[in-house]
Amino acid sequence: MSAEQLGFEGMPQRLYACTPSRLNTWLDCPRRYRMTYLDRPAPPKGPPWAHNSFGASVHNALAAWWRLPAPERTAEAAGALLARGWLTEGYRDGEQAARQRDRARAMIERYAGRLDPEDEPAGVERTVATRTDRIAVSGRIDRLDDRGAELVVVDYKTGRHVLTADDARGSLAMAIYAVAAARVLRRPCHRVELHHLPSGEVAAWDHTPESLERHIRRAEGIAAEAQDADEAYRSRLKPAYRPDQIDHRPFDAVFPPRTGSLCGWCDYRRHCPEGQEAAPRKDPWSAMPD
């Protein structure tokens, strides 16, 4: 019997709980989305990536730096925190890991040396959340700056690609964080900044209320597609399977693979024949400059 027959035609639609990462995964590749968020047990991933270890080490050190008393927030302290918490997974060998540690230490000391240790952020590794009529979305901001009249969302980037204002403008995650931060802290938040530590460049964008609204509508549209796929998976698609012997055929109409050069970087490449054909497997340390 339907909800209308029971007299509940006015029942609110169930909100789709998500993060920006979940939404972007659906956009990038529905098959990878399924294996990441729906398959249980999840298929085993490939080996860890060195660039993820590098980025996490830098992010962790900067978060710890802001937790120090202001007089102790020196460039040297940032470097010491980086060395103390250095993650080594994914590197080719100890020599490469040590070389990249030294590179990261110089990078983070240069960056911290330009920060004002007395300029207390409004949040560090701050979790924010908001909801609309369609979605309940949450995420964690690297740093939320208090710039007087407004809040500013800051995201640290450690990859080789130098970023532009278009990267900041087009970032769905950053726009969602700005909306959520404004609602949680009841302060205006329109500016988003990508701080590229290797180059020292800052890519920034000042959103308008209209551009933020467009990002939220975009997130709702992505979520609607993903939610329909989730329901199909749970109600009629999910078969019993061994994670090492996945038959994708029952899923492909709803969770098709989206292949390309990025397949070489996918954690689930070994479970995806189309991805294996699309691109050769990258070594775990391939993204690291030597």
pLDDT in tens, 136-178: 999 999 999 999 889 999 999 999 998 999 999 999 999 999 9
pLDDT value at residue 269: 95
Note the pLDDT tens digit of each residue in 261-286.
999 999 999 999 999 999 999 999 99
Write out the DSSP string of 90-134: T-SSHHHHHHHHHHHHHHHHHHHHTS-TTS--SEEEEEEEEE-SS
- Listed in order, strand segments (DSSP E) in the chain are 16-18, 123-131, 135-147, 150-157, 189-196, 201-206
pLDDT value at residue 246: 66
pLDDT value at residue 236: 73
pLDDT value at residue 2: 40
Note the pLDDT tens digit of each residue in 87-129.
999 999 999 999 999 999 999 999 999 999 999 999 999 999 9
Q: DSSP label at 40?
A: S
Q: Report how far residue 246's alpha carbon sits from residue 271's, in angstroms, rounded to the nearest whole number.
A: 7
pLDDT at residue 19 is higher than 70: yes
**With pLDDT > 70 as the criterion, what percentage of the chain qualifies?**
91
pLDDT value at residue 4: 41
Can you read off the two tokens belonging to residue 159?
């990859």
Closest CA to 47 of 266, 289, 277: 266
Reported as a pLDDT band with limits 50, 70 and 90, residue 3 is: very low
- Whether residue 269 contacts residue 275, with contact meaning beta carbons closer than 8 Å, is answered with yes
- Beta-bridge mates of residue 8: none
- Whether residue 90 contacts residue 73, with contact meaning beta carbons closer than 8 Å, is answered with no
Reported as a pLDDT band with limits 50, 70 and 90, residue 62 is: very high
Instruction: Count the neighbouring beta carbons within 10 Å of the beta carbon of residue 123.
Output: 22
Q: Which residues make Cβ contacts (< 8 Å) with residue 235, sequence separation at least 6?
A: none
Q: Which residues make Cβ contacts (< 8 Å) with residue 189, sequence separation at least 6?
A: 150, 151, 152, 153, 178, 179, 181, 182
Q: Mean pLDDT for the chain?
A: 92
Amino acid identity of residue 22, one-letter, is R
pLDDT at residue 54 is higher than 50: yes
Reported as a pLDDT band with limits 50, 70 and 90, residue 7 is: very low
- Whether residue 212 contacts residue 175, with contact meaning beta carbons closer than 8 Å, is answered with yes
pLDDT value at residue 12: 61
**DSSP 3-state of 239:** coil
pLDDT value at residue 14: 84
pLDDT value at residue 249: 74
CA distances for 33 relative to 156, 172, 216, 281, angstroms:
25, 17, 20, 19
Give the least confident one: 4-8, 173-177, 208-212, 226-230.
4-8
Q: Report how far residue 102's alpha carbon sits from residue 252's, in angstroms, rounded to the nearest whole number.
A: 45
- Beta-bridge mates of residue 145: 152
Pick the CATH number of 123-215 from 2.60.40.150, 1.25.60.10, 3.40.50.300, 3.90.320.10: 3.90.320.10
